[in-house]
Amino acid sequence: MKSYLENINKAFESRARLGIMSVLMVDERVDFNTLKDTLQLTDGNLASHLRALEEAGYLHVEKQFVGRKPNTTYQASDLGREAFKTHLDALEQLILSNRKEN
């Protein structure tokens, strides 16, 4: 297998997860509804992708109350930032290798 393909990380494959990580690389801490609006995902779909990223150790999740309303915020972990950068580097290699050969 071409070596860059090995660094393509299954955890980030889907468009939704690429989108989530891209938002969290920029903004320190983002709440559920902001992610939902930005990425135009359903509650269930977004929640399931966030859970997968949390289980991989790529996100920190914080549940708190704003007044009486529960508010959950998400933050990329250091591990998540590193892993996402590695993934983007692998994608870049893939793109460069395609451009070079065509």
Residues near a copy of itself (CB under 8 A) are: 1-2, 5, 8, 10, 13-15, 18-19, 22, 25-26, 38-40, 84, 88, 91-92, 94-95, 97-98, 101-102
Residue closer to a copy of itself by CB (options 23, 47) is: 23
| DSSP designation for 13 | -
CA distance 62 to 38: 19
Residues 83 and 58 sit within 8 Å (Cβ to Cβ): yes
Within 13 Å, how many C-alpha atoms sit on residue 93's CB side?
Answer: 13
Residue closer to a copy of itself by CB (options 3, 65) is: 3
Residue closer to a copy of itself by CB (options 42, 101) is: 101
In the complex, the smallest distance separating the C-beta of residue 1 from a copy of itself, rounded to whole angstroms, is 5
In the complex, the smallest distance separating the C-beta of residue 80 from a copy of itself, rounded to whole angstroms, is 13
Nearest to 75 by CA among 53, 91, 59, 52: 59
Q: Say whether 40 sits in a helix, a strand or coil.
A: coil
Residue closer to a copy of itself by CB (options 68, 102) is: 102
- Tokens of residue 93, six digits: 């290699």
